[in-house]
Structure 1
Amino acid sequence: MDMVGGSAAPGQADDGDRLVGSDRVLAVLKELARHPDGVTLDELTRAIGSPKPTVHRALRSLRRAGLASQDARGHYLLGDEFLRMAFAHHEARPEHVRILPVLEALAERFGETTHYAVLDGREVVYRAKVDPPTGAARLTSTIGGRNPAHATGVGKLLLAHQLTTRDAVDAWVGDGLLERRTAHTVGTAAELHAALELIRARGYALDEEENEAGVGCLALPVYALSPSVPSGALSVSALTYRTPLPTLIDAVDEVRAVLGPLGSAGGSAA
């Protein structure tokens, strides 16, 4: 039984600052994940805070299971079996399935429709949709449906992460004007660039009746597949007579809280 003094080491159990048995094996596994280029036994020992023989025994258990391996330099890495299991699990749980409980919670909270959408060229595609549990008037959007990216909150949010310079916006817009779905839709490269800069500053996007009259939207990024690049965007889309856009803006921190790690760069739960 190994005693670890001071603050908890990475992956360490919290009860009594002790790291024993399966806790130690799991701590070693988690530490390996922090070193994609490999880590030495001495480095693992220091990080885990357990004696070298016990860390070595944990590594042997992980290697027998295929969850750890050792390269020609003697460095330890995550094993192929661990990667196989992780990717198999990931493919069985596509991101729109993982975001569904969040959509359901927000649809119930606001009594409005929630979406998860991804960017596909110049359009957004809706991968998931949850209608409010009550309320006669609902949006006509459908799963698999498309809308122009520049005319939607989710689309502009994702474009803001992709088109980070004026030159990039100009190239994306091209020689012509953008389709104005309503009188509020951005129609030029200059207007789109200004909108994307504002989105980056705020951390969220709005659809101020730009795609459909009478419908407003608050959109936030979702990091379901990568810790740095949004896999898609979540929106709360509201009939403005029922839920004015300022109401959604005032609740942006609440929406972020419901999203949890999926809404934060670096916090992907993939």
Structure 2
Amino acid sequence: MEHTQTYDGPTDPGADRLVGSDRVLAVLKELARYPEGVGLEELTRAIGSPKPTVHRALGALRRAGLADQDGPGRYLLGDEFLRIAFAHHEARPDHVRVRPFLEALAARFGETAHYAVLDGREVVYRAKVDPPSGAVRLTSTVGGRNPAHTTAVGKLLLARELTTLADVEAWIGADPLIRLTPNSRCTAAELHAELTLTRERGYGVDDQENETGIHCLALPVYLTSPSTPSGAVSVSALAYRSPLAALVDALDDIRALLPS
């Protein structure tokens, strides 16, 4: 979940046929992958559209302030995009409310704490707090995504929605689940069994299913409703340093630090 890798989502086989606003949005998303900027040639190859059309998309983004060009002529996200993104993020009540609890978890366990919500087949990280000092810090980012079926937060939130094997099969549909590690649960039967266990115990785990060497424990948080979770909070740890069993043993301590 909540780990050192970044999941970029499934590759769109129709990317080379993007037109109009779809192409502009594809260029915008691709720019976000290059914080140091990217040249037109490289961007054109990544998008898979003709250079003139990518250049027109960049022109539209630049006029809106959503893209910019540095001295060497490389393109990058514009200041207006960053202003909008940060203003929106800071205004989210769940982000504001949950951060003190993440700080308490990170300080208590010396590990990274995340808050995430479910978005279709993925989880989106709304907030993250690294430990104050002395520990390896994960490279997960606010706004980043990972597959729901390989993450502790994702499986915890899916467990409420997918209560039968038929539910899981319908959710998977025709698109196979990605296997990120040998531990990933990728068949309908495997995921159904895992979600059933998650519902029974009331917490989710990622036992090196999203990335080898990292595991997580997640609990639901109820920021907007007393009965429906607004999202989930997790503690993510390096396996050699904090065994998963140790996190499970500390469940009561974790619950005590969460919003009531």
Which TM bucket (shorter chain)? 0.5 to 0.7
CA distance in 2, matches of 1:225, 1:219: 18
Number of the residue aligned with 1:232:
231
Question: CA offset at residue 175 of structure 1?
Answer: 3.1
CA distance in 1, matches of 2:241, 2:185: 25
Number of the residue aligned with 1:124:
123
Structure with larger RCO (C-alpha < 8 A, sep 6+): 2
Number of the residue aligned with 2:106:
107
Matched, 1:144 2:139: no
Q: SS of 2:257's equivalent?
A: helix
Larger radius of gyration: 1
CA distance in 1, matches of 2:94, 2:134: 28
Q: SS of 1:125's equivalent?
A: strand
Question: Please, what TM-score do these two structures have when normalized by structure 2?
Answer: 0.64
Number of the residue aligned with 1:159:
158
Q: SS of 1:103's equivalent?
A: helix
Number of the residue aligned with 1:134:
133
Question: What are the within-5 Å matches in structure 2 for residues 163-178 of structure 1?
Answer: 163-178=162-177
Q: SS of 2:138's equivalent?
A: coil
CA distance in 2, matches of 1:223, 1:136: 29
Q: SS of 1:259's equivalent?
A: coil
Number of the residue aligned with 2:198:
199
Letter in 1 for 2:238: L
Matched, 1:247 2:252: no
Q: SS of 2:116's equivalent?
A: strand
Question: Please, what TM-score do these two structures have when normalized by structure 1?
Answer: 0.61
Q: CA RMSD in A?
A: 1.4
Question: CA offset at residue 164 of structure 1?
Answer: 1.4
Alpha carbons 2:222, 2:259 under 8 Å: kept: no
Letter in 2 for 1:205: G
Question: CA offset at residue 178 of structure 1?
Answer: 1.2
In structure 2, relative to structure 1, the CA distance for the partners of 1:258 and 1:136 (3 Å cut) is: closer
Question: CA offset at residue 92 of structure 1?
Answer: 5.9
CA distance in 1, matches of 2:253, 2:204: 15
Letter in 2 for 1:258: L
CA distance in 1, matches of 2:189, 2:224: 31
Question: What are the within-5 Å matches in structure 2 for residues 71-110 of structure 1?
Answer: 94-110=93-109
CA deviations 1:238-261 (Å, max 9, x no partner) are 011111111100001111111141
- Give the ranges of 4+ consecutive aligned residues of structure 1 lying more than 3 Å apart after TM superposition: none
Question: CA offset at residue 135 of structure 1?
Answer: 2.2
Number of the residue aligned with 2:6:
none
Letter in 2 for 1:185: S
Q: SS of 1:198's equivalent?
A: helix
Letter in 1 for 2:132: P
Question: CA offset at residue 227 of structure 1?
Answer: 1.4
Alpha carbons 2:98, 2:259 under 8 Å: kept: no
Q: SS of 1:197's equivalent?
A: helix
Tell me the matched-pair count.
Answer: 171
CA distance in 1, matches of 2:98, 2:135: 25
Q: SS of 1:179's equivalent?
A: coil
Number of the residue aligned with 1:18:
none
Letter in 2 for 1:154: V
Number of the residue aligned with 2:182:
183
Report % sequence identity: 68
In structure 2, relative to structure 1, the CA distance for the partners of 1:213 and 1:191 (3 Å cut) is: same
Q: SS of 1:193's equivalent?
A: helix
Letter in 1 for 2:184: T
Letter in 2 for 1:133: P
Alpha carbons 2:127, 2:142 under 8 Å: kept: yes
Question: CA offset at residue 162 of structure 1?
Answer: 1.1
In structure 2, relative to structure 1, the CA distance for the partners of 1:175 and 1:125 (3 Å cut) is: same
CA distance in 2, matches of 1:142, 1:92: 18
Q: Which runs of 5+ in 2 are unaligned?
A: 1-89
Question: CA offset at residue 177 of structure 1?
Answer: 2.8
